[in-house]
């Protein structure tokens, strides 16, 4: 049905998809906090959350209620508008990245209508991700600067320099992948990884770009401010870090945005290197089940990969000690960037040799 030239059914479909992705991201971010505590408890031989609900499952709700009920304080000498804008921008950019992720294959209804499980299939999906991630740094910078607190400012400067350093290596590592895919569209990249084996080699790009994956993964740790790259929140040196002066849900927005970013980053890594929603023998499964069930299985395959990556982020946090700042900068500029350039050169030579032969 068209209204003023707008397909109402398409609009409703996208609104529902956006709502599901947004609510799902918030829900996973909530329970990532619970999972983080449980993982830490297991690795440190503790119990972890156990009082709020069975097995502590209501602990995230208790934390959310606590943040809503806490007094909201804005420092007198802060820049009020930017102080409020900081966590809002961090939360907005965290949620925007999910728009280009293909969460599953298209579902074709009995009437022939195609329902896409991707909010926006743009042909520059990876550039969109990098652009939004770069904007996320402004949320941290605004929060640290507008607080009028020297420790918060130092922390935000650390965050900005760390993000700039590791975005370079991350981008160069992706150039090698894009040379193989020939496309910036995430949907096209997932389609090229169909199944698991094509008769000659694995289809997933992890097996074709293992070094690129390793560089991208390390840079993702730095972009997420996750240990051992959590220098912007280094409480032993800078109190709480860039959100030192925040309280109530403004602080909650910063904390939630980090876990949403971890979820979306895991989805991007799974999409680029681990086949996205593809899984072994998926063609045989598609031939034997209803199309709707097959779509749900593909979504669950992607979610399984995402959960495994999130758990890996958590295991690393509670295993490795924090870097010194000079070590962090040396790794980014003297280690990962040259390594990414070498990987790009090797990939180019391999592609030219394959085409020539």
Average pLDDT, integer, range 36-63? 91
DSSP for residue 245:
T
Query: Is 324 strand, coil or helix?
Result: coil
Q: What is the pLDDT of residue 33?
A: 93
The better pLDDT of the pair 311, 155 is held by 311
Q: How far is CA 223 from CA 135, 169, 173, in A?
A: 12, 11, 14
Q: What is the pLDDT of residue 134?
A: 84
Q: What is the pLDDT of residue 241?
A: 79
Range of the domain at 133: 2-356
Q: How far is CA 344 from CA 180, 221, 347, in A?
A: 10, 21, 5
Domain count for the chain, please give it: 1
Q: How far is CA 110 from CA 7, 67, 107, 115, 290, in A?
A: 20, 46, 10, 11, 11
Q: For residue range 329-353, what is the model confidence (pLDDT) as tens digits?
A: 999 999 999 999 999 999 999 998 8
Q: How far apart are CA 310 and CA 319, in angstroms?
A: 14
The pTM of the whole model exceeds 0.85:
yes
Q: Is the four-CA dihedral 239, 241, 244, 246 of positive or negative sign?
A: negative
Q: What is the pLDDT of residue 180?
A: 92
Average pLDDT, integer, range 107-127? 85
Q: What is the pLDDT of residue 235?
A: 67
CA angle 63, 133, 277 (to 5 degrees): 80
pLDDT at 81 over 80: yes
């Amino acid at each position: 049905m068209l209204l003023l030239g707008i397909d109402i059914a398409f609009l409703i479909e996208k609104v529902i998809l956006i709502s599901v992705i947004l609510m799902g991201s918030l829900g996973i971010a909530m329970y990532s906090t619970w999972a983080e505590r449980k993982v830490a408890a297991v690795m440190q031989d503790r119990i972890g959350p156990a009082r709020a609900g069975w097995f502590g499952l209501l602990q995230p709700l208790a934390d959310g209620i606590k943040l809503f009920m806490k007094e909201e304080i804005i420092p007198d000498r802060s820049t009020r508008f930017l102080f409020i804008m900081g966590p809002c921008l961090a939360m907005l950019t965290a949620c925007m990245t999910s728009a280009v992720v293909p969460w599953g294959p298209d579902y074709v209804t009995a009437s022939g209508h195609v329902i896409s499980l991707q909010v926006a299939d743009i042909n520059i999906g990876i550039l969109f991700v990098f652009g939004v991630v770069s904007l996320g740094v402004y949320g941290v910078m605004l929060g640290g600067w507008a607080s009028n607190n020297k420790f918060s400012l130092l922390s935000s400067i650390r965050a900005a320099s760390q993000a700039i350093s590791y975005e370079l290596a991350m981008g160069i590592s992706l150039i090698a992948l894009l040379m193989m895919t020939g496309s910036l569209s995430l949907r096209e990249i997932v389609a090229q990884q169909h199944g698991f084996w094509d008769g000659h080699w694995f289809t997933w790009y992890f097996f074709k770009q293992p070094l690129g994956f390793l560089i991208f993964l390390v840079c993702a740790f730095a972009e997420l401010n996750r240990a051992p790259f959590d220098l912007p929140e280094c409480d032993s040196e800078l109190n709480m870090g860039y959100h030192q002066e925040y309280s109530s849900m403004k602080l909650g927005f910063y904390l939630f945005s980090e876990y949403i970013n971890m979820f979306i980053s895991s989805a991007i890594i799974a999409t680029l290197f681990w086949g996205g929603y593809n899984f072994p023998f998926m063609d045989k499964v598609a031939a034997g089940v209803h199309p709707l069930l097959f779509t749900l299985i593909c979504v669950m395959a992607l979610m399984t990969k995402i959960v495994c990556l999130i758990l890996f982020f958590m295991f690393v946090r509670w295993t490795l000690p924090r870097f010194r700042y000079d070590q962090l900068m040396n790794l980014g500029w003297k280690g990962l960037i040259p390594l990414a350039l070498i990987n790009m050169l090797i990939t180019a030579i391999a592609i030219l040799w394959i085409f020539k032969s």
